[in-house]
Amino acid sequence: MSDIKKVVLAYSGGLDTSVILQWLQDTYHCEVVTFTADIGQGEELEPARLKAEKFGIQQIYIDDLREEFVRDFVFPMFRANAVYEGEYLLGTSIARPLIAKRQIEIARETGADAVSHGATGKGNDQVRFELGYYALEPGIKVIAPWREWDLTSREKLVAYAEAHGISVEMKHKAGGSPYSMDANLLHISYEGKILEDPAREPEEEMWRWSVSPEAAPDRAEYLDLEFERGDVVALNSQRMTPATVLAELNRLGGAHGIGRLDLVENRYVGMKSRGCYETPGGTILLKAHRAMESITLDREVAHLKDDLMPRYASLIYTGYWWSPERRALQTLIDDTQTHVNGWVRLKLYKGNVIVVGRDSRTDSLFDANISTFEDDGGAYQQADAAGFIRLNALRLRIAARLQR
């Protein structure tokens, strides 16, 4: 007899989590609470509620977390300009700590003694979810069905579903997507099928959010982004909430073929994996934020951030959002953003995000009187550079003498 009485399941209503819901009841004979997070995946969530009700679930949570997701997770990450392995904007990674947080909150509210997720034993998400669970509730029990059951293929999952009368929309059948997909307000990812051969080009029909650069408009589109303390607060002079502005940037970027990525990445569990991503709004946001920092951040502060960024990005990718080291880095990063205020003008054109202007009325460190190629009226003494260069060359000159 299992000592688990109640479990909170991260539930999407798809094949995997629908099977898991039944499997938990069959295997652990426990009460199941379902939790479905709306983080901007763009799908109708009511079917998940109806499916849960058919299973006899009494406590069903469907929570709109879109604003919290962008405000408290996406924006802090973009203040750091976080990019994993030089390319990946961490769209899936940054959603997991929020889902874990809300799952633990629900477990407390409902008196559950366990939580469960549908991540496989081959992927990163199992690590991200569970590190979050344990960081927030050290004594929680975790059920990871993919590490326990013998349903080791999609065919076996389908057979289990059919045997138990579980109705599941089969997205891999004709007319649907053959890929494993994950979407939220920051991105949509694709894995599996032909992408498992890294030599094959993705099918154009795979992409959901963006047109191809070749099919994008022949005329560029300009937009202005306004920043306050490192976060976008307005688009084209219209103030917007975090979730609203990111959604609009996704729309604009997708229309111009921006944000596609085909990547072979190194998973935390040790294997290489090929995935494709669409992150139109995030691609625009990263370019704009770096442009804003270019005129408002001190040189050494900017370089320090660039030194720390790969470590910060790796912490998010590997699931350490709730770790003390990520929190410490965030404190430093947020402090650097105090003066990242102003506006950036961008041009969107056939897959490209081009910075064409930036200004800060209150915090710009750019001084045209000093940097000008014209007469600076004595603002900068060029003769001073000779001593500066000689002092910095001193160790090189000493070493050169020894080598002769």
Catalytically active residues are 16, 96, 125, 180
CA distances from 261 to 18, 37, 110 (A): 30, 25, 41
Positions of E strands within 309-380: 342-349, 352-359
Angle at 351 between CA 350 and CA 356, to 5 degrees: 85
- 3-class secondary structure, 264: strand
Return the residue matching tokens 């994993």: 84
Tell me the longest C-alpha to C-alpha distance in the chain.
86
Q: Which two tokens stand for residue 317?
A: 């990718």
- 3-class secondary structure, 273: strand
Distance (Å, rounded) from C-alpha 215 to C-alpha 351? 10
* Edge-to-edge order in the sheet of strand 31-38: 60-64, 31-38, 6-10, 114-116, 141-143
Count CB atoms within 10 A of the CB of residue 171.
14
Positions of E strands within 193-259: 221-228, 231-235, 238-239
Distance (Å, rounded) from C-alpha 333 to C-alpha 169? 44
Among the listed residues 242, 377, 235, 311, the one whose alpha carbon sits nearest the alpha carbon of residue 81: 311
DSSP 8-state symbol, 201: P
- Do the beta carbons of residue 185 and residue 66 sit within 8 Å? yes
Distance (Å, rounded) from C-alpha 349 to C-alpha 219? 7
263-284: string of b/e by CB count within 10 Å (b at 16+)? bebeebeeeebbbbbbbbbbbb
DSSP 8-state symbol, 149: S
Return the residue matching tokens 């007319």: 175
Distance (Å, rounded) from C-alpha 401 to C-alpha 404? 5
- Give the pairing type, strands 188-191 and 180-183: antiparallel
